[in-house]
Structure formats: C-alpha cells, structure tokens
Structure 1
C-alpha cells in the first residue's frame, strides 16, 4: 500500500513538473493587434467567442482587435505591419505567396466558406445561371475579399471575366442589408447573418450557397477552407510560443462551438450581432453551423480546391509556382489538440 502511494505521488510530481515546464515558457509577445474584416459575421464567430469566453487571457495574451470593412483591408494591415495576426480567408495565403509574401495559416476556423450569392428578387427570374449575372452590380464585403473571390470564381465558370460584373463594396451587417433593400445593387455575395436576413425578408433568391457540405460538393467538389488564423512566417519563427498560445485560444473556441447550441452562441456574442432580431440570429447560427472546422487542420484536398478556385479567374496565379505546403503550418494545431 505504501509503495502504491509513493508511486502515485511520484507520478503526480512528474506530471506537475512537465506541466510547469510547459507553462514556464514565456510568451515572447503578449500584446498583440489582430486584424479582421467583419467581426460580427458568423464567418468569424470563433474570433468573437475566443475574445468573449476569455480564452486569449487564459493563454496570457492581451489582444486588441481592429475590425475592417473586409478581409482585404485586414490583410493590408498585416502586410503593412499595423497588425500581428489576422483572422481572414485562406485564399490570401495562396495569393500572397504568388506575390512573394510569406504568409501562413496556423489554424483552420471554417472548413466551408459560408458565403451566399443571392440575386435581388425582382431580378431573379432573369438569372438561370452565373453567366446571366453579366452587367450586374454585385455587392461584396469589400473588393479583394473572399466574397469578391467567390463571385469571380463562379462567373468564370460560365466564361465571364471579372470585369463583366461591377463589384461594389457594401461592408457587413446593416450597411449590406440596406444596400440591397434600397436597390443599390442587383445581387450580393455576403455572409450570415446578413444573407439569412435578406432571405427571410424575401429580398433575395439564393443562387449559390457554400454554408453546407452539400453546397460545397456542388460548387467545389468538397472541402474549401475559409476563415483561418494567419501570420507572417517570420513572426511564427520569431515568436513560436506566442503563436502556440494564439492557436490554443482559438482551438478552445472550436471545441466549445462544436458542442454549443444556437442559444448558447447568441448568449455569448454582443446583442448588436443579432441585427435587432434574435430569432433571425438563431436561424443564421443554425444555417452556418456545418461550416466550422472540426479539427483546425486544413486537409490537402481542401488546399487544392482553394487553389483551383483561384486559378479560374486569377491570371497571376496561373504562371506562379505555389507550394501549398507552405500556406499552412499544422504543428501548432496538433499541439493544441494534444494539450486538450
């Protein structure tokens, strides 16, 4: 009995020692600026949850979030040095590599884009396929953002060029809703809760929906990574402990979200995210639930789908040598899973 007790105490001491060693690693850069384009969108729900549930603080991080009108502007903040880390579209890591900028995703937040393309109801009868969008004014969160890429890829399939449609930045939230309701645009590529509201209000007819597995199989043939956490590669190399803590915090949110109900989510986010209608927000969360990553890891097939989508409309990429293995660094997600 005495021997068993001594062995148990020895095991506890070893565990405590290992745990202490892990947490003894100092966070090299605890104060961070994080850029995002449309924080209230469900596309970026894991970010809001990480902030609101206190996971950044649990990991010893003090994160200041800067919210931009779209993902392209968040990317610019990283390239320009005003942000340390971004939650944005995976496609940006591919496009930046082609431009000689080493940007890498370290965690997948969304396995599907969650983007919906809807046509204004009074125009819907004339649109039988994507080629019928020629000449349309199409609202996106911001030019150069993933919602813009989505439109470009879909119209390219029907032989149209990117400039065959007029892309107009309408932002996120109520500004996007207002643009459609006022008739400023003919169609919109945007995210929830914006698109669910317009659909429920009868303002649009959905032409393409990437929120579900079925929708993504139809559009892309499978997984197409969406929102990710990405950083400059030199940041990852210089601040590996900080990078791990960032990934740990977001990974906790993915695990929380996997078990949460729409009501749980509504309670966790600011009420202004509801767009004045809680039932609408609950419906939006339910519609978008399938799109969130289960593991935080981007599968190779998903990377290829994302590249293939960009190749349909981006001439710069056709001549570029893109090493997809350098667009995602899964080491930190693996360690976060082990710790969990």
Structure 2
C-alpha cells in the first residue's frame, strides 16, 4: 500500500539557506574621535555596503597618525584610514605599505585659535588672509596643540606658522596632546591658545567656546596641504597580494558610499549624524 501523500500549507514552508560567514575587517583609525573625513567608511558600514560584501567591521584607535601606520605595519589591522603624509613616508622608506584609494580631494585641517587669544590680538572672523598673516607675526609664544609629533596636525601647524614668518621651533610652543578631545579640553581650560585638527573639532571649538578658525586647508591658507589628497586607505603589500578580492570589495563598498554622499547629501548627512554623532 503506498504511503499517504502529505501536504503542508505554503505558509508553513521555509526555504533554509546557510549564509557565508562574514569576514572580519579591522580598520585602524588615528583617533577615537569620529572625523567627518571618515564619512565614506562610516556610511559604508551604516548603509550595509560592507555587509553586502561579506564584511564584519571592527574599528580600533591607535591614538595618532604615526601610531596608526605603525599598527598597520605590525599587522594589527586590515587597513588604515589616515592622512597621506605618514603613509607616503612609510612607502618611501620601503616599509611594505601601499595606498589603494583616496576618499577626499584634500584634508579638512584647520588651525583654530581661542576667543580670548583672538580678542587680545584684535583679530576676528572675516579678516582677509593678508591681514591675518600680518597679525600672526605677533603670535610669538603661541601654545598650539597637536595630536602627536610627526602627525598631519603637527606638519600643518608648522607650515601655518612658517607662512606667517614665525619659527615653529623658536617662536611657538607645539604641544602634543594625544587627541582632539584633549585639545578641546585644553582650550576650554585655557591651557592652550589654539590647536590644529580635522573637522569636526575646530567647528566644535567655534560653537562651544567662540573660537576662531584662523587658517584652513579648505581655503588654501596652509601652504602645501590643499594639493594633497584627504584621508586615504593604506594596506600592507603582502596582504593585498595574498587577498586582492577582499581589498577590491573594500574599495567597492567605500566607492558606493562616496557616490551616495554626492547623490544624496542630505540623507547621507542625516545617516552619518545618527550613526556617529548621537
């Protein structure tokens, strides 16, 4: 006797599938502050572009640009998001690194001065660059916060003061503070006269303390920085040779996010705000 045929309602049936395990990708950052310059990577994660490529993202902070490059060399991550300066030096020294993409045309670095310092030197927003350069000649003794020696904030500070006719060694105090949150705290407490940093720290100082953005890379006021690319993705040569498909997928996800920023700027800003600044 044949076995009875058993039927189940379609609503009771499920198609089972086994998803491929996600690959962990560790991205090294120079600071635990969420920089606006890292928006493509943050959005690639928030919008699921990394997930679509099969990535599970881990982010680690090294404390500074030079330290992040050292961490990459030592094998502490899959890639590093960093200004190009430190990576270019490492490439030139033959340390086995490669830059695989840039995420911006230039780096959003600024030299910001405190409200009190601006008032003492009679400088204000809207002054022409010629007048600001002339006024800066009287900034001897300026206490300028940076993240770390050899970082992009260090180089930008020195270039800015040199353009105003000051000796960055003899005329200015360059103070390594470790991070931009430390720079904001030092400005709030009156321990520094200003600092160099990437957005959003300068804008936060302006909003919270009445600080003034004195020199800006975006306005081409810090010599040598505007032609340089913004944040770049650096990797180890050995890793990309071993797994080129992984890095191609990483670039694809970041490019999708960059296109989204261009095509949907308002939505991108709202997503970034929710993902990193709330």
TM-score, with normalisation over the residues of structure 1? 0.64
Cα distance, 1:77 vs. partner? 0.9
Secondary structure of the residue that 2:247 maps to in structure 1? helix
Q: How many residues align?
A: 244
| Counterpart Cα distance in 2 of 1:148 and 1:262 | 33
Question: Cα deviations across residues 238-265 of structure 1 (Å, max 9, x unaligned)?
Answer: 2211110111111111011112334642
Secondary structure of the residue that 2:277 maps to in structure 1? helix
After superposition, residues 286-325 of structure 1 pair within 5 angstroms as none
Cα distance, 1:91 vs. partner? 1.1
Cα distance, 1:84 vs. partner? 2.0
| Counterpart Cα distance in 1 of 2:24 and 2:275 | 27
**Structure 1 segments of 4 or more deviating over 6 A?**
none
Cα distance, 1:270 vs. partner? 4.2
| Counterpart Cα distance in 2 of 1:137 and 1:90 | 26
Aligned match of 1:252 = 256
After superposition, residues 194-213 of structure 1 pair within 5 angstroms as 194-211=201-218
**1:169 and 2:162 correspond:** no
Cα distance, 1:93 vs. partner? 2.2
Question: Cα deviations across residues 99-134 of structure 1 (Å, max 9, x unaligned)?
Answer: 331322111112111011011222235485355444
Cα distance, 1:188 vs. partner? 0.9
Does the 8 Å contact 1:90/1:228 carry over to 2? yes
**1:30 and 2:38 correspond:** no
Question: Cα deviations across residues 33-58 of structure 1 (Å, max 9, x unaligned)?
Answer: 21012351112122211221111111
Quick check: which one's helix share is greater? 1
Compared with structure 1, are the counterparts of its residues 259 and 32 closer, same or farther at alpha carbon in structure 2 (3 Å cutoff)?
same
**1:135 and 2:141 correspond:** yes
Secondary structure of the residue that 2:180 maps to in structure 1? coil
| Counterpart Cα distance in 1 of 2:230 and 2:199 | 14
Does the 8 Å contact 1:143/1:169 carry over to 2? no
Does the 8 Å contact 1:143/1:168 carry over to 2? yes
Cα distance, 1:66 vs. partner? 0.6
Compared with structure 1, are the counterparts of its residues 271 and 243 closer, same or farther at alpha carbon in structure 2 (3 Å cutoff)?
closer
**What are the ranges of 5 or more consecutive residues in structure 1 without an aligned counterpart?**
1-25, 275-340
Cα distance, 1:186 vs. partner? 1.1
Compared with structure 1, are the counterparts of its residues 176 and 260 closer, same or farther at alpha carbon in structure 2 (3 Å cutoff)?
farther
Does the 8 Å contact 1:137/1:168 carry over to 2? no
Deviation larger for 195-204 or 247-256 = 195-204
| Counterpart Cα distance in 1 of 2:226 and 2:29 | 26
**What are the ranges of 5 or more consecutive residues in structure 2 without an aligned counterpart?**
1-19, 124-131
CA RMSD in angstroms, aligned pairs only:
2.8
| Counterpart Cα distance in 2 of 1:41 and 1:222 | 18
| Counterpart Cα distance in 2 of 1:118 and 1:235 | 39
Deviation larger for 196-205 or 227-236 = 196-205
Aligned match of 2:62 = 68
Question: Cα deviations across residues 128-178 of structure 1 (Å, max 9, x unaligned)?
Answer: 5355444322112333321122112223345555433322225134x4322
Cα distance, 1:63 vs. partner? 2.4
